[in-house]
């Protein structure tokens, strides 16, 4: 009987250890998944910036299909004829990828800054994935940076709409 209790106690202890490990592993797993996702999305944005080219009439096309521009992707612009805060970012990113920062700025005044933010994702996310615990810059700096970019997009958009 005592050996049965010992086995049950060991089983309960192992189950409790697994629950603790699962509880502590889940946030790390979610955080790693988030950093990997952001890294993949940043990679896709950079590759697309190099694969696309600006064509006539504010359109973009793949470099190898330059005679076939892609449709506008902005629902606000397509349905209502109103530009949204992000209108022009793709074209701005393409100019930035080509090294034409003045054209990037002319298309969208915040585009070059968002392109730099995408590029900064690479060292930040790689560093975050290599660390076991805390975020490289803590939780506050990325939030302030992200909200600052959103505010800049909205201020830029309001300035354009009010002109």
Instruction: Give the structural domain span for 58.
Output: 2-162
Per-residue pLDDT tens for 32-70? Answer: 888 899 999 999 999 999 999 988 777 888 889 888 888
Per-residue pLDDT tens for 91-139? Answer: 999 999 999 999 999 989 999 999 999 999 999 989 988 877 667 777 7
d(CA 135, CA 127): 9
The single residue listed with the structure tokens 């202890």 is 13
The single residue listed with the structure tokens 């603790």 is 20
Say how many domains are in the chain. Answer: 1
**Predicted confidence band at 16 (pLDDT cuts at 50, 70, 90)?**
very low
Entry pTM: 0.73
């Amino acid at each position: 009987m005592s050996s049965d209790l010992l086995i049950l106690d060991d089983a309960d202890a192992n189950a409790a250890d697994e629950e603790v490990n699962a509880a502590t592993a889940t946030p790390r797993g979610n955080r790693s998944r988030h950093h990997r996702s952001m890294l993949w999305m940043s990679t896709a944005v950079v590759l697309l910036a190099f694969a696309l080219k600006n064509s006539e009439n504010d359109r973009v096309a793949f470099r190898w299909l330059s005679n076939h521009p892609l449709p506008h992707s902005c629902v606000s612009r397509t349905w209502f004829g109103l530009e949204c805060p992000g209108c022009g970012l793709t074209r701005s990113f393409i100019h930035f990828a080509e090294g034409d920062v003045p054209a990037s700025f002319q298309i969208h005044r915040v585009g070059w800054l968002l392109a730099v933010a995408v590029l900064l994702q690479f060292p930040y996310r790689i560093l975050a994935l290599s660390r076991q615990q805390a975020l490289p810059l803590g939780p506050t700096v990325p939030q302030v940076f992200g909200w600052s970019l959103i505010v800049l997009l909205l201020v830029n958009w309001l300035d354009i709409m009010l002109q």
